[in-house]
Structure 1
Amino acid sequence: MEASETAQRFTHEQWPYEPKFKRVNRWRMHYVDEGVGDPVVLLHGNPAWGFLYRKFIKPLTAAGRRVIVPDMIGFGLSEKPVREQAHTLDGHIANLTGLLRQLDLHNATMVCHDWGGPTGLGFALSNPDRVRALVIMSTWAWPMPPAEFHKRIFPWRMMHAPLVGPYLLGRHNALAGRGMYLSVVDRRQFRAEAQSVYENILPDPGSRLLTWTWPRWIPLDDSARGLARFEWLERELGKSKLPTLLIWGREDEVFDHKTFATRFKALLPHAEGPELVTGRHFLQEDSGEEIADKINRFLDRIGERQS
């Protein structure tokens, strides 16, 4: 489906930003580019898209920052390959790298959430000369052990089984529908203003391929295909001195703050936080403006220290 057709599935009031596109690794990648100043790159995961950050853009641009919001290949208004081979973790890191290098970003702050963690950190650790700071939210960057949530037979591992995954997440769009609905605190507000947007941006089973294939890259044992990349992420992150802010959803049941924010703090002892906000896994839905304010204040502090 062409981006123009998909764009008709939400209103200008819901997403009032001019669509921009670049070719990355042969795919057409959509992004939003608003404001001026040092760039802040807002990275989503599965099954979201840039819409997840709609409450961040105005507070960040009003504070004098340039905001870049990419849609990962396979999501949002970006092209949606129908071959699973297009959706490796290294491929997504390469796509993001291709976009940000074409934009020639420097002094960037990478805001990393869910799969935006491994992809955004993959870019940052490979391009430290282009990155100013990190904001890490409800994600992970190491091979083992996985989250307790991802080890459960039901619902997680069953949802991504060879037959059940395409049926539930492909045919019935379960992750963008009920999955996201269950992963916010204020479900009434989410249903009223956002749920249909997430569902409609993935209008058919072919467009939903990534929702059930990308999670297969979460390492569950030593034979996992993503193991080497996550080992590299953990090793390189432990060497990082980039200013870092940890923000976590207090109610997150996927990457709980007591386990995952604490482990990031051990890897990055200089990091600020973790600062807890109202929110399950998609904390941007419940606390978007509050998180944007925390990012602004964090970057202001960095600027004061560096001036």
Structure 2
Amino acid sequence: MNYESFNLVAPGTLRTPEESFEDLKDYPFKANYLTIGDTRIHYLDEGPKTGEVIYLLHGEPTWSYLFRKMIPTLTKAGYRVIAPDMVGFGKSDKYISIDDYSHQMHVDKMVELIIELDLNNITAHVHDWGGMVGLRVIAEEPDRFERVIASNTSLMALGRGFFNDLRSFISWPIFKVAIWLQGPSTWEEFVGGDGFISWIRYSRYTDNIDIGGVMQVLGSVSDSEKAAYEAPYPNATYKAGAQIFPYLIPSELRKNERAFREVLEKWDKPFLIANSDNDPVTGNNPRLTEILRRIPTSQEIIIKGPGHFLQEEAGSQYAELIIKFINGNPEGFTMKKKVIDRNDIL
């Protein structure tokens, strides 16, 4: 491989050039950076520094751009918003090899960021893979968090008992073999609604994951917004983090279960499950929400209309919901469902 065409900042590590982010739609926020180990992490720090902290953690295949419609509402209400980009996403550094990404690596980086910034009394909003990572972060630093809102996400764990412990131990190697035997999935199979396994097979084996296309399918974004989601990736080599994320979902079931048993099942602070009724992820997999009901203080509301990326379709309304949650009176809301013709994407 000819690395001269890449912005290589360390062996095996890429950094997206700043010019890739020029003129992004509705993203006027100042970039902040923190170096953790040998990796530079980008994060937004908006609003008054003395304000109560709201921590927004993105998932797959997004970055802090996802929260641009929410941040103005939250900061106007006096909150300090921290929104990091995980390694491999947004303005954070990106590892070239998929083998350098792991669930634990993401947890470690986000824990260190919170410690370095000395964040406390945090309201955490976690979404998609942000829940998989964020709930583990919360389990490692529970005293720093005051409340949690989880949307269209979960933390994969199989529950208590010898049989489930055995399943947790063997599921990951079996899953890897199963995906290998099934082989690649096409973009058409994914967009055509062939199921979550098709998404994993597509993202894992494709040469160039279509991040903008994914956001059009699941987030109904405009062409300029689609370009913004592709902006962090000048070419496919930068996309290893997004490529491997779905494949890693069952990779740490035992650690996830430990997080439930040691912390989350004992959680005594507010915890809100706020799913959208047109989310194909939680909608087609009710077990994901059932897992979060293990948290004793969990309460649930339904947001009617939006799909998986409700931050795109209902950003300001969703920010208001978070504020109401902080004030102790969260309420769901209804908005008109956006419909996209998938034939325009195929």
TM-score (norm 1): 0.84
Match of 2:43 among 6, 27, 31: 31
Shift of residue 25 of structure 1? 2.6
The secondary structure found in structure 2 opposite 1:284 is helix
Contact map agreement 1:249 1:280 (CA 8 A) in 2: yes
How many Å apart are 1:211 and its aligned residue? 1.5
Tell me the CA shift for residue 5 of structure 1: 2.4
Q: Hey, what does 2:245 align to over in structure 1?
A: 214
Measured in 2, the distance between the counterparts of 1:265 and 1:90 equals 20
Q: Which has the larger radius of gyration?
A: 2
Secondary structure, aligned partner of 2:42: strand
Alignment of 1:92-131 (within 5 A): 92-131=106-145
* Contact 2:66-2:312 at 8 Å conserved across structures: yes
**Contact residue 267 and residue 297 of structure 2 kept, 8 A:** no
- What residue number does 1:132 align with? 146
Deviation per residue, 1:224-279 (Å, 9 max, x gap): x3221222233332221121122111100012288157415622343232232432
Residues in 2 aligned to 1:165 and 1:118: alpha-carbon distance in whole angstroms: 18
Instruction: Give structure 2 stretches of 5+ with no counterpart.
Output: 1-6, 8-13, 160-170, 172-178, 191-195, 330-346
Structure 1 CA distance for aligned equivalents of residues 203 and 303 of structure 2: 32
**Mean Cα deviation higher: 256-265 or 12-21:** 256-265
SS of 1:207's equivalent in the other structure is helix
Does 77-86 or 28-37 show the bigger shift?
77-86
Q: Which has the higher mean CA deviation after the structures are superposed, 200-209 or 46-55?
A: 200-209
Counterpart AA for 2:99 = Q
**Which of 64, 79, 84 is equivalent to 2:78?**
64
Q: Deviations over 1:269-301 (max 9, x none)?
A: 432322324321111111111110000011122
Pair 1:273–1:238, CA change in 2 (3 A)? same
- Relative to 1, partners in 2 of residues 1:258 and 1:181: Cα closer, same or farther, differing over 3 Å? same
Q: Distance in 2 between matches of 1:114 and 1:90?
A: 16
Post-superposition, which runs of at least 4 consecutive aligned residues in structure 1 deviate over 4 A? 151-154, 158-161, 164-167
Q: Deviations over 1:73-105 (max 9, x none)?
A: 110000001122321101100000111111000
Deviation of the 1:157 alpha carbon: 3.6
1:261–1:215: structure 2 CA closer, same or farther, 3 Å change rule?
closer
Please give the secondary structure, in 2, of the residue aligned with 1:179: helix
Matched-pair contact (CA < 8 Å) for 2:268–2:296: no
Measure, in 2, the Cα distance between the counterparts of 1:297 and 1:41.
Answer: 16
How many residue pairs get aligned? The number is 285
What is the deviation of 1:62? 0.9
For the residues of structure 2 that align with 1:135 and 1:165, how far apart are their CA atoms?
27
Is the 2:131–2:153 contact (alpha carbons within 8 Å) kept by the matching residues of 1? yes
How far did 1:70 drift?
0.1
CA change 1:267–1:66 in 2 (3 A) is: same
What residue identity is the alignment partner of 2:239?
R
**Pair 1:259-2:286 in alignment:** yes
- Partner of residue 232, structure 1: 258
Question: Does structure 1 residue 300 correspond to structure 2 residue 335?
Answer: no
SS class of match (1:255): helix
Cα deviations by residue, 1:135-176 (Å, 9 ceiling, x for unpaired): 101111133499xxxx99754445545xx64663x42x32x1
Aligned letter for 1:18? K
Find the counterpart in structure 2 of residue 88 from structure 1.
102
Aligned-partner residue type, residue 216 of structure 2:
Y
Shift of 1:180: 1.8
What CA distance in whole angstroms lies between the structure 2 residues aligned with 1:52 and 1:111? 12
Contact 1:138–1:281 (CA under 8 A) maintained in structure 2: yes
Task: Tell me the secondary structure at the aligned position of residue 55 of structure 1.
Answer: coil
Q: Which deviates the most, 77-86 or 5-14?
A: 5-14
**Contact 2:31–2:43 (CA<8 Å) still a contact in 1?**
yes
Identity of paired residues, percent?
A: 28
TM-score normalised according to structure 2 size: 0.75
Q: Is the contact made by 1:243 and 1:271 (CA closer than 8 Å) also made in structure 2? A: yes
Q: Does 1:183 align with 2:218?
A: yes
Please give the residue correspondences for 1:260-299 in structure 2 after superposition, counting only pairs within 5 Å: 260=287, 262-264=289-291, 266-299=293-326
